Amino acid sequence: MVTGAAGFIGSHLVEALVAQSHEVVCVDSFTDYYDPALKEENAAGLDVARLDLAEQDLDLDGIDGVFHLAGQPGVRSFGDVFEEYVRRNLLASRRVFETAAAAGVRVVFASSSSIYGDAERYPTPEDTEPRPISPYGITKLGCEQLAYAYGQEFGLDAVVLRYFTFYGPRQRPDMALTRIVDALARGATFELYGDGLQSRSFTYVADGVSATIAAMQHAPAGAVYNVGGGEEATMRDVIATLEAVSGRSLDVVERPAVAGDVRRTSADAKRIEDDLGWRATTELGEGLRAQWEWASVRVAAP
C-alpha cells in the first residue's frame, strides 16, 4: 500500500512498484495544498482510494507493507496553517501506525531532512541532535517519535526515511526547482527567496524511490536512514545549470528568506549504504535535464 499515491513522490513509487510486478493499493485524499488537478494527472491510470487518513483507518487485510508518504509538506508552516500540519502529519500518522501495529504490517515512513533544522554537523549523520526550525519539521519529528513509541509499546515494525529535497518530473509546484523550470519554460519571473547561497543535498526522485523500496524489503525494524543525493548545490548553482540546459536566461526577482527554510542540508548517507547498499546514482546535471524536459514539454502542450 502506498499512501500519498497521487503526490509527487508517491506516484513515482507506485510506478516503480508496478514495474516490479507488485500489486499496489493506492490511497490519497487529494488535498488542496496545491492544485488537485496535478494530483489527478500524477495518478492517471491508477485506482486511488480516497481516504482522509486523519479521520479514516486503513484496511490492511492482505497488505504486506505500507509506504506512508501521505502528509502535509512544505516549510511555510508558521501561523494558522500549523493545524493542517498537525492533522495531516501527526493525526493521520497516528492512525496509520496504530492500524499497522495491530495488523503486524511494516510501515516505511517518509520523514524529512527538516527534522535537523540548522544542523550542528555537515554532512549530517542520523544521530545528530534534531533541532527543527519549522513547524513542519516539528510535526515530522513528532511522527518519527510516534513510530518509535508504537514500536516500543505495540510492536510496530517501522522504518524511518529522512528524505533530502527530492526533485525530478512532477516535483510539487511549491518547490524551487519546479518554479525555476516553469519560469524558464514560460519566460516568467522566478522569485528567489534569500541570497541564493542556501544549499541542498538534491536527490533525484528515482534514486529516492529505490531507497524507499530497499528499506521496505531489507531494513531492520526500527532503522532510521537519511536518503540524500551525493551532490550538494546552492540555488545559484542549480539556476546556472538549468539556464545552461534550457539555453535560456532566468528572470530572477529577489525576495526575503522564508522563515523555517534552513541554510544548508547535506546528507551523510553512509548508514543506508552500509546497511542496504543504496547510494544515489543520478548526477545533478542529468536529473535537472530530465526535470527541464518534463516541464518544457508540458508548457508547450496545448
Ligand X SMILES: NC(=O)c1ccc[n+]([C@@H]2O[C@H](COP(=O)([O-])OP(=O)(O)OC[C@H]3O[C@@H](n4cnc5c(N)ncnc54)[C@H](O)[C@@H]3O)[C@@H](O)[C@H]2O)c1
Is-catalytic flag, 167? no
Three-state secondary-structure class, residue 106: strand
Cβ closest to ligand X, residue 41 vs residue 64 = 41
Cell output for 264: 544548508
- The answer to the question of residue 92 lying near ligand X (CB under 6 A) is yes
> According to CB under 6 A, which one of 9, 115, 250, 272 is a site residue for ligand X?
9
- The answer to the question of residue 169 lying near ligand X (CB under 6 A) is no
User: Can you list the pairs that 211-214 forms with residues at least 24 positions away whose Cβ atoms lie under 8 Å?
Assistant: 211/161, 211/272, 211/276, 211/278, 211/280, 212/9, 212/13, 212/67, 212/108, 212/110, 212/161, 213/13, 213/16, 213/17, 213/20, 214/276, 214/277, 214/278
- The answer to the question of residue 77 lying near ligand X (CB under 6 A) is no
DSSP letter assigned to residue 90: I
**C-alpha span between 130 and 68 (Å, rounded):** 21
Of 33, 85, 116, 136, catalytic: 136
Interior/surface letters 261-285, b for 16+ CB within 10 angstroms, e for the rest? ebebbbbbbeebeeebebebebebe
- The answer to the question of residue 229 lying near ligand X (CB under 6 A) is no
Nearest distance, CB of residue 111 and ligand X, angstroms: 6
- The answer to the question of residue 177 lying near ligand X (CB under 6 A) is no
Angle between helices 284-300 and 235-246 (to 10 degrees): 60
- The answer to the question of residue 172 lying near ligand X (CB under 6 A) is yes
Cβ closest to ligand X, residue 201 vs residue 296 = 201
> According to CB under 6 A, which one of 69, 147, 183, 245 is a site residue for ligand X?
69
Nearest distance, CB of residue 248 and ligand X, angstroms: 25
Residues composing the chain: 302
**C-alpha span between 117 and 225 (Å, rounded):** 16
Nearest distance, CB of residue 24 and ligand X, angstroms: 15
Binding region for ligand X (CB under 6 A) out of 16-24, 120-128, 159-167, 177-185: 159-167
> According to CB under 6 A, which one of 2, 17, 26, 28 is a site residue for ligand X?
28
Residue carrying C-alpha cell 493521520: 92
Binding track over 110-129 against ligand X, x by CB under 6 A: x-x-----------------
* H-state helical runs in 23-114: 36-42, 82-85, 92-103
> According to CB under 6 A, which one of 52, 182, 275, 293 is a site residue for ligand X?
52
Cell output for 196: 541564493
Nearest distance, CB of residue 217 and ligand X, angstroms: 19
Nearest distance, CB of residue 187 and ligand X, angstroms: 26
**C-alpha span between 126 and 116 (Å, rounded):** 9
Question: Active-site residue numbers?
Answer: 136
Q: Which residues bind ligand X (CB under 6 A)?
A: 4, 6-10, 28-31, 33, 39, 51-54, 69-73, 88, 92, 110, 112, 163, 165-166, 172
